Amino acid sequence: MLYLEDIKVGDRFVSREYEMKLEEIKQFAQAYDPQEFHLDEDKAEDHPIFQGIAASGWHTAAVTMRLWTECFPIAKGLIGSESSLRWPRPTRPGDRLHVEVEISAITPSKSKNDRAIVSYVTQALNQHGDVLFISTTKIIVFKKETAAA
């Protein structure tokens, strides 16, 4: 597990790959984002933007979260305080995603000396290096000496 003392601006973390399967895309969409371009290959082909079935952006975000927790193991968890998300390209069935995280800023708390706000940029890329998801996020990260307290 990583504590505040273990990270610095510029540190990078890279996840394993995760394959987006058609059936999983449809299952997620059926449960959480039931739009035709996530559920029906024929109707998705005629969509003016997607031109084929695409995973829900929230599905891509959920997979990204899973990969974050594996490659960026922050002690006491990834406790978010702010995030901005973009989906520059659709995620397709068969895409093999991996996540790259880079620490962009560390701002010590003004009121609590046991923590800081850590800002980082995350990209989820497919097997071709296309960026499918990008976020800038701020999380709370604790110092080691307070971990046992």
What are the structural domain ranges in the chain?
4-146
Q: Classify residue 30 as exposed, middle or buried by CB count within 10 Å of its CB (0-12, 13-18, 19+).
A: exposed
pTM, 2 dp: 0.92
Q: Give pLDDT, residue 17.
A: 98
Ranges of the chain with pLDDT below 50: none
d(CA 149, CA 133): 37
Q: Please list, in sequence order, all residues whose beta carbon lies within 8 angstroms of the beta carbon of residue 25, skipping any fewer than 6 positions away.
A: 38, 53, 54, 55, 56, 59, 91, 93
Q: Give pLDDT, residue 146.
A: 54
Q: Give pLDDT, residue 145.
A: 77
Annotation: CATH topology of 4-146: Thiol Ester Dehydrase; Chain A (3.10.129)
Give per-residue pLDDT as tens, 22-49. 999 999 999 999 999 999 999 999 999 9
